[in-house]
Amino acid sequence: MLEVVGVGLGRTGTHSLKVALEILLDGPCMHMIDLADRPDNVPLWLSALDGDPDWCAIFEGYKATVDWPAVSFWRQAVDAYPDALVLLSKRESADVWWESAQRTIFMSYYGVTPAPPVAAALDTLRTLYAMNGIDPTDEAVSKRAYETHLAAVRAAIPPDRLLEWTPGDGWEPLCAALDRRVPDLPFPHLNSTEEFRARFSAVG
């Protein structure tokens, strides 16, 4: 049963959030990296793309979800789990988000060949970009899609159910919203540009 539905686009600190939520909720949090590591889950998402989602099967065993592919179905996930906190991760600005995305998740559009596990999920990811109005080859279109997404979430989710979070906010807002004690350890900082590039182009 999902306790947190993450509705922030990729490159908004979602990998760090994944690890942080797994600590706070004592259970797994779905992230795009799971799709790359578990390509057997791809058919479930393809069914969702075809309009026949099985949310119980997709989210079985998970306590939370962030990042792609679930963010493309955020309205359905929010409705399917009405008691879950809605977590909108974002960057300081659309410019900051674009710069991070252009140097990482959009790399395949600029002649960089991905590692096999990433390549297996790449076609699905490209479909998800298009669903959200994102064009990795067009900065203006992508920034506009980013801002439109934030506005849509804010318009749809009541303030008392929505937590907006920016990398750098750390544990405190999450713990307050989830009624958890602040862990006595540093907040995770994962998936930097350098780490992403290394994983994206790794062999095997």
Taking all residues of the chain, what is their mean pLDDT, rounded to a whole number?
87
CB 6 within 8 A of CB 20: no
Domain span at 141: 4-197
Domain containing 91 — which CATH number? 3.40.50.300
30 belongs to a structural domain: yes
46 belongs to a structural domain: yes
204 belongs to a structural domain: no
33 belongs to a structural domain: yes
pLDDT tens profile 20-58: 999 999 999 999 888 767 777 888 988 998 999 999 999
Task: State the total domains in the chain.
Answer: 1
Q: What is the pLDDT of residue 66?
A: 97
How far apart (Å, rounded) are the C-alpha atoms in residues 174 and 124?
Answer: 30
> Which CA distances in Å does 1 have to 12, 18, 126?
24, 16, 28
Which of 129, 162, 128, 158 lies closest to 4 in space, CA to CA?
162
How far apart (Å, rounded) are the C-alpha atoms in residues 171 and 165?
Answer: 10
| pTM (two decimals) | 0.87
Bridge partners of residue 5, in order along the sequence: 65, 86
Whether the pLDDT of residue 8 is over 50: the answer is yes
How far apart (Å, rounded) are the C-alpha atoms in residues 160 and 60?
Answer: 26
How far apart (Å, rounded) are the C-alpha atoms in residues 2 and 29?
Answer: 9
Span 121-133, mean pLDDT?
77
57 belongs to a structural domain: yes
203 belongs to a structural domain: no
Which helix (H) or strand (E) is 65 found in, with range? strand 64-65
69 belongs to a structural domain: yes
Q: What is the pLDDT of residue 35?
A: 77
Whether the pLDDT of residue 122 is over 70: the answer is no
Whether the pLDDT of residue 200 is over 50: the answer is no
Lowest mean pLDDT among 88-97, 131-140, 141-150: 131-140
126 belongs to a structural domain: yes
Span 154-161, mean pLDDT?
97
